[in-house]
Every structure is written in structure tokens, then in C-alpha cells.
């Protein structure tokens, strides 16, 4: 069974791109999926494996969702 992954987008680093793509032309961001972290601040959570605006993402998990137990990988978009 393949591990279900969540992808975290750092709000403060990419607010404009997240607004444009994740809430705009893609629209698949999880509205209820904002997670607060001590390390990077708020993360918007995306459940989509394939991102049309992907720049890069981590190979190893950044952390784990306290709600679901799924691994969270940081992702940046362009």
C-alpha cells in the first residue's frame, strides 16, 4: 500500500503564488488544511500528488499531520 502524502506550502514565502494558483486556477488546496508550525509558520495543505505549478518538493517528510497521521512534504510552486 502506498503511503498517502500531504504537501505543505509555506504561506509567508509564497503567499502570492498560493493565492494565484492554489486558490485560483488550480483550486485544489485544502481550505480546512492550514497547519501552524514553529519552524516556518502557517502551511497550506494540498493533497494532490501531481501539481501543475510544482517547482520542487522535499523527498523526506517535514513532519506529520496531527489530525490524520499522514506525512507532510514541503512543496514550492512557480
pLDDT, residue 1, reads 59
How many residues can be counted in the chain?
78
Cell numbers that stand for 20 in this block: 494565484
Run of H or E residues at 71: strand 71-77
Q: Examine the pLDDT at 75 and tell me if it is beyond 70.
A: yes
Cell numbers that stand for 15 in this block: 503567499
Mean pLDDT of the 34-58 span? 93
Point out which residues pair with 10 in neighbouring strands. 43
Whole-model pTM?
0.90
Question: In this predicted model, what pLDDT tens digit does every residue of 2-44 receive, in sequence order?
Answer: 678 999 999 999 999 999 999 999 999 987 778 888 999 999 9
Q: Could you state, in order of their start, the residue ranges of all structural domains in the chain?
A: 5-77
pLDDT, residue 62, reads 94
Amino acid at each position: 500500500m502506498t503511503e498517502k502524502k500531504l504537501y505543505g506550502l509555506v504561506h509567508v514565502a509564497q503567499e502570492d503564488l498560493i493565492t494565484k494558483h492554489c486558490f485560483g486556477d488550480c483550486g485544489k488546496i485544502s481550505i480546512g488544511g492550514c497547519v501552524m508550525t514553529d519552524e516556518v509558520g502557517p502551511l497550506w495543505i494540498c493533497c494532490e500528488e501531481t501539481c501543475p505549478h510544482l517547482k520542487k518538493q522535499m523527498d523526506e517528510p517535514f513532519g506529520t499531520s496531527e489530525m490524520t497521521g499522514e506525512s507532510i512534504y514541503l512543496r514550492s510552486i512557480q
